[in-house]
């Protein structure tokens, strides 16, 4: 991505606008470049990110890719044709999480898959994480965490001792309450135009509340805004859209979880 000295001064000017201003005016090329770098870092770090082989777990990948395609075809993804939207499953049963880095690289942990009760819940969480990338929350958060120097490194290919190892610090990245809420509501909008019940992410939060004494859940809740208020907002958005109930696929989901054993 060659933009020369003029581009350099533009980046510095945008920096004065704050993190939101930088992302608003930057091309999505920066998202794709960051995403490709993070993907490489994850692939190079199998100790932290043990990626399941799609050839060894075809049924699991088939169902998760079905969810991914349903969301992408909802007609609600702004950057559907701009980002990669690749999906990988990380084998770590102790982690109840998923994330989507800039450029649309989606990672789902086996711990999350085994924790949930139905496919619509997983679709809800995936929709939430996809929203963070599609709304460019992930890029904003990385700029806020690492500063404008991150942009300079990616735009100009400046090494300076090695690019920031973003992948190793993904767990420490936290979204603002407003961005988390926006991703919740966007997940509802995505799923409303699929076969899934649009309240899937609500089911995830309800299960978290039900089992909040579990150590892994306590750790998750410590880095995420409280679910209670988010549940009400999800319900309100669902009703605002018309309240159309979708499918939850609970029996099929049990088969999916067994495929991981």
pLDDT digits (tens, 9 = 90+) for 147-200: 666 666 665 655 444 456 777 777 667 888 899 999 999 999 999 999 999 999
- Give the chain's mean pLDDT: 84
Containing structural domain, residue 172: 32-132+166-258
Percent of the chain with pLDDT over 70: 76
* pLDDT beyond 70 at 18: no
Q: Which residue has the higher pLDDT, 227 or 207?
A: 207
Average pLDDT over residues 88-92: 97
Give 6's pLDDT tier (boundaries 50, 70, 90): very low
How does strand 105-109 pair with strand 98-101? antiparallel
Query: What is the rounded CA–CA span in Å between residue 13 and residue 27?
Result: 15
Q: What domain count does the chain have?
A: 1
Does residue 153 form part of some domain?
A: no
23-37, 98-112, 113-127, range with the lowest pLDDT: 23-37
* pLDDT beyond 60 at 204: yes
Does residue 127 form part of some domain?
A: yes
Percent of the chain with pLDDT over 90: 59
Does residue 156 form part of some domain?
A: no
Does residue 147 form part of some domain?
A: no
Does residue 123 form part of some domain?
A: yes
Query: What is the rounded CA–CA span in Å between residue 58 and residue 167?
Result: 26
Of 141, 132, 144, 119, whose CA–CA distance to 204 is shortest?
119
* pLDDT beyond 60 at 78: yes
Check residue 84 and give its pLDDT: 97
Check residue 190 and give its pLDDT: 98
Does residue 11 form part of some domain?
A: no
Does residue 106 form part of some domain?
A: yes
* pLDDT beyond 90 at 134: yes
Average pLDDT over residues 218-243: 79
Does residue 161 form part of some domain?
A: no
22-26, 151-155, 228-232, range with the lowest pLDDT: 151-155
Q: What number of other Cβ atoms are within 10 A of residue 135's Cβ? A: 17
Average pLDDT over residues 52-73: 97
122 Cβ contact partners less than 8 Å away, ≥ 6 residues apart: 64, 67, 108, 112, 113, 116, 200, 253
* pLDDT beyond 50 at 81: yes
Check residue 139 and give its pLDDT: 86
């Amino acid at each position: 991505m060659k933009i020369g000295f003029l581009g350099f001064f533009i980046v510095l000017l945008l920096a004065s606008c704050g993190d939101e201003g930088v992302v608003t005016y930057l091309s999505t090329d920066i998202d794709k470049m960051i995403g490709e770098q993070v993907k490489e870092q994850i692939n190079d770090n199998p100790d932290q990110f043990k990626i399941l082989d799609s050839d060894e777990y075809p049924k699991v990948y088939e169902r998760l890719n079905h969810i991914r395609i349903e969301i992408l075809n909802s007609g609600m993804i702004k950057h559907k044709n701009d980002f990669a939207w690749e999906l990988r499953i990380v084998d770590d049963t102790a982690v109840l999480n998923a994330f989507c880095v800039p450029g649309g690289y989606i990672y789902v942990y086996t711990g999350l898959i085994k924790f949930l009760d139905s496919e619509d819940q997983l679709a809800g969480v995936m929709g939430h994480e996809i929203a963070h990338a599609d709304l460019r929350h992930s890029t904003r958060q990385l700029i806020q965490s690492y500063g404008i120097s991150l942009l300079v490194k990616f735009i100009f290919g400046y090494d300076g001792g090695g690019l920031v190892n973003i992948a190793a610090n993904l767990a420490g990245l936290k979204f603002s309450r407003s961005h988390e809420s926006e991703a919740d509501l966007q997940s509802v909008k995505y799923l409303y135009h699929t076969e899934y019940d649009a309240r899937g992410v609500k089911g995830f939060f309800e299960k978290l509340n039900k089992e909040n004494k579990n150590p892994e859940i306590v750790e998750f809740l410590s880095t995420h805004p409280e679910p209670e208020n988010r549940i009400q907002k999800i319900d309100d958005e669902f009703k605002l859209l018309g309240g159309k109930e979708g499918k939850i696929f609970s029996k099929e989901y049990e088969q999916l979880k067994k495929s991981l054993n």
